C-alpha cells in the first residue's frame, strides 16, 4: 500500500508540474518572436473577402513556413479608436516566426504564387511591418 501511495504522489507531482509549465506558456509564448504583419489599409472603394483570406490565402502562406511558424493570427478591422477618424485597416494577418531570415527564405520562391492569390480576395496593396515582440 505504501508503494501505491508513493506512485500516486509521484504521478500527481509530475502532472501538476506539467500543468504549471503550460500555464506559464500562456503568458509568454510570443515574447522574443518576430512578427510579420500584413496590413490592409482601408480606403473608399477597397474590398476584402475575409472568408477567402481565412480559409484559403493564410493557410497557403502558413504552409510555406514550416516549423519556423509558431502561430498566425487574423484580425478584422472594426473602427478607429479615435472618434471621427476613418478605419485605419480593413484586416491584418500576422505570422509569428522564430527567424526572419528563415521566413524570407521560405517566402522567396513562393512570392509569385502568393501575389497571384491577392486579387482573389482584395484590391488593396498591403503594407508589411516586421517587428519584435518586446512584451
- Residue 26 in the binding site for a second copy (CB under 8 A): yes
Q: Which is nearer to a second copy, 47 or 85 (CB)?
A: 85
- Residue 81 in the binding site for a second copy (CB under 8 A): yes
Residues in 31-70 at the binding interface with a second copy, rule: CB under 8 A: 34-36, 38-39, 50, 54, 58
Q: Residues 112-131: x/- map of binding to a second copy (CB under 8 A)?
A: ---------------xxxxx
Contact with a second copy (CB under 8 A) among 92, 97, 106, 124 = 92
- Residue 3 in the binding site for a second copy (CB under 8 A): no
- Residue 79 in the binding site for a second copy (CB under 8 A): yes
**Cβ within 8 Å of residue 37, ≥6 positions away:** 92, 93, 94, 128, 129, 130, 131
Query: How many other CB atoms are found less than 10 A from the CB of residue 95?
Result: 22
CB 95 within 8 A of CB 131: no
Per DSSP, the three-state class of 90 is strand
What is the enclosing helix (H) or strand (E) of 94? Answer: strand 89-97
Amino acid at each position: 500500500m505504501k508503494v501505491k501511495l508513493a506512485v500516486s504522489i509521484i504521478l500527481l507531482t509530475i502532472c501538476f508540474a506539467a500543468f504549471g509549465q503550460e500555464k506559464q506558456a500562456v503568458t509568454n509564448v510570443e515574447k522574443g518572436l518576430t512578427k510579420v504583419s500584413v496590413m490592409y489599409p482601408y480606403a473608399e472603394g477597397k474590398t476584402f473577402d475575409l472568408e477567402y483570406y481565412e480559409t484559403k490565402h493564410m493557410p497557403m502562406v502558413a504552409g510555406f513556413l514550416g516549423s519556423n511558424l509558431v502561430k498566425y493570427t487574423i484580425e478584422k478591422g472594426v473602427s478607429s479608436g479615435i472618434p471621427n477618424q476613418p478605419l485605419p485597416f480593413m484586416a491584418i494577418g500576422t505570422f509569428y516566426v522564430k527567424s526572419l531570415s528563415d521566413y524570407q527564405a521560405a517566402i522567396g520562391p513562393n512570392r509569385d504564387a502568393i501575389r497571384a492569390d491577392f486579387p482573389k480576395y482584395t484590391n488593396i496593396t498591403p503594407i508589411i511591418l516586421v517587428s519584435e515582440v518586446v512584451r
